[in-house]
Amino acid sequence: MDVARPEVSPAGRTRGRGGALRLGLLALPLAFFALFFAYPVAAILARGLKVDGVWQAGRLWEVLGQSDIRQVLWFTTWQALASTALTLLIALPGAYVFARLDFPGKQVLRAVVTVPFVLPTVVVGTAFLAVAGRGGLLDELWGVRLDTTVWAILFAHVFFNYAVVVRTVGGLWSQLDPRQEEAARMLGASPLAAWRRVTLPALGPAVAAAALMVFLFTFTSFGVVRILGGPAFSTLEVEIYRQTSELFDLSTAAVLTVIQFVAVGAILAVHAWTVRRRESALRLVDPAMTARPPRGARQRALLAGVLVSVLVLILLPLGVLVRRSLDAPGFGYYRALASAESEVFLVPPIHAIGNSLAYAAAATAIAVLVGALAAAALARRDAGRWMRGFDALLMLPLGVSAVTVGFGFLIALDEPPLDLRATWILVPLAQALVGVPFVVRIMLPVLRAVDVRLREAAAVLGASPWRVWREVDLPLVRRAVLVAAGFAFAVSLGEFGATVFIARPDNPTLPVAVAKLAGRPGDLNYGQAMALSTILMVVCAVALLVLERLRTDRSGEF
């Protein structure tokens, strides 16, 4: 007896092959993170927490019992909380100005306030060193030095994270329907009461998300604290570096890495919860409908105050940095970069420019390939709970100690078939780990916004899943790919925590060169650090301006 087999539509066959396609998309990202993140981190933790093959469970309490370690933990948490509060206090008025007011030069100023976010932390530290350090602007004018005080660290963190608040909170604020607040005013509420009862609850999740992001960045701060804090102040990240590279105490470094890992995991979990809240239904409108020219003395005063804060906190450090690099007559510090008589490196410091550009280009290619495949898999409608877990895994490189990753590279990738210590690819691999999360975060919203009916129509016409991706998804997300590549390039260019371990003396990167020059005595070394920082700042600023031209409203918040 013949049994008729049910017909399966092309769209149904495509859905049936969805699982295989998703596994195919995830194969490279999973292998990349397993080999170049999980394996090096596990290797250094095992090296530090195992003695004769036995895990030392009590080592955690031994380390926490040390008074200097408890002081590091306290300072790490305290300065992160203080930096977050100060950043919100200064940046929230800026978020309102960029969201609700329309004024000449607004787009240029938006790009200017975003420049610090893509700058390497080493350059941020060096810029504030030029303002508040030895021979800095404050030292020249009033004989005041802040480089050995916590205030320099706090304001440097505000400088670095100002754009996080402006972009995250201001992006939502600009789309909130102003008529809701106006209706409360018509019912008799004062401007402050209307804002507190209508606008603030809607902005609450965005403010919380921005605060958690700032707290995460400052909790894991390394370059800023290492340059400005000196021996008096140390965060967990700086202490991990000190225990690893100066004291060679891998056991203590491993314990501190576990502590930081747990803390960052908790922060990311809270951040994911706030993001889910933020995605709740709100009455949103076109941002062009909400921005108006300043009206009244109060709004004009607020705009003036924000412009002054941007001038003092952002433009002044960058301007002083450039001026310090020009102190030597005839561009002397820049010309010294080409000298082969360097006491710090085996090659002229100027070689760091070419090295950084080459490394960043390779890291960008890796990050875009891995991140695009991961984003394509995460964007599929049939992604389950385990895929959301993988999404969280992609964010871990931003929270795990970059120092641990860098030193783990040296320990784990030194035997065949992964003996990479003598190869140039080691640095781009470490930089790409930091770039992949940015690529995913930028591409994922755009991929999820692609109308699934377009894919189904292509499948009905006989297109394979790979052809659907190439001819439907890729043309729609091409601009997002370019934006993601730009951010990955800027982030890779400024990566310091891992690169400081694996960059060879004959092939230094720009951040490593800046840190080593700034840490040595002598006006020539100091001036060369300022010159290299200026070059790095210009390269990052150019990348950012290109991003501003490419950016679309659906290409992510940054």
pLDDT(547) > 80: no
Residue % of the chain over a pLDDT of 70: 78
| Rounded distance between C-alpha atoms, residue 493 and residue 508, angstroms | 12
Torsion on CA atoms 172, 176, 182, 187, rounded to nearest 10: -100
pLDDT in tens, 268-284: 777 666 655 554 444 55
Q: What is the mean pLDDT of residues 493-509?
A: 81
10 Å CB burial of residue 173 (0-12, 13-18, 19+) is buried
Rounded Cα gap, residues 156 and 129, in angstroms: 10
Question: pLDDT tens digits for 58-72?
Answer: 777 788 788 888 999
Q: What is the pLDDT of residues 85-127, one digit of tens each?
A: 999 999 999 888 888 888 887 777 877 787 787 677 777 877 8
Instruction: Give yes or no for residue 355 having a pLDDT over 70.
Output: yes
* pLDDT for res 558: 46
- pLDDT tier for residue 362 given thresholds of 50, 70 and 90: very high
Q: Mean of the per-residue pLDDT values for the chain?
A: 77
pLDDT-wise least confident of 168-177, 301-310, 478-487: 168-177
Q: How confident is the model at residue 538 (pLDDT cuts 50, 70, 90)?
A: confident
Q: Is the pLDDT of residue 320 over 70?
A: yes
Is 75's pLDDT higher than 90? yes
Find the mean pLDDT for residues 463-484.
72
Average pLDDT in the 182-202 region?
A: 71
| Lookup: tokens for 194 | 């209307």
Surface-to-core class of residue 465, CB atoms within 10 Å of its CB (0-12 exposed, 13-18 middle, 19+ buried): buried
What DSSP string runs through 266-310? HHHHHHHHHHHHHTS---B--GGGT-B---HHHHHHHHHHHHHHH
The pLDDT, as a whole number, for residue 318 is 85
Nearest alpha carbon to residue 221 among 360, 429, 114, 77: 77
User: Does the pLDDT of residue 468 top 60, yes or no?
Assistant: yes
Quick one: pLDDT at residue 432? 92
Residue 382 above 60 pLDDT? no
Confidence of residue 447 (pLDDT cuts 50, 70, 90): confident
Say if residue 245's pLDDT is above 60: yes
Query: For residue 5, what pLDDT is reported?
Result: 47
The pLDDT assigned to 183 comes to 73
Q: What is the pTM of this model?
A: 0.76
The pLDDT tens digits for 115-160 are 787 677 777 877 887 787 777 777 777 777 776 678 888 988 999 8
Judged against a pLDDT cut of 70, whether residue 258 lies above it is answered with: yes
Rounded to whole angstroms, the Cα distance separating 543 from 175 reads 27
What per-residue confidence (pLDDT) applies to 535?
A: 87
Give dist(CA 405, CA 431) in Å, integer: 10
Q: Which two tokens stand for residue 262?
A: 């747990």
pLDDT score at 111: 74
Q: Give the count of beta carbons closer than 10 Å to the beta carbon of residue 528.
A: 29
Average pLDDT over residues 444-466: 71
Strand 50-51 with 54-55, pairing: antiparallel
- Give the pLDDT band of residue 553 (cuts 50, 70, 90): very low
Query: pLDDT value at position 365?
Result: 93
221 compared with 548, residue with greater pLDDT = 221
Please give the average per-residue pLDDT across 215-228, as a whole number: 84
Chain segment 23-74, per-residue pLDDT in tens? 777 888 888 988 888 888 888 777 777 766 666 667 777 887 888 889 999 9
pLDDT at 11 over 50: no
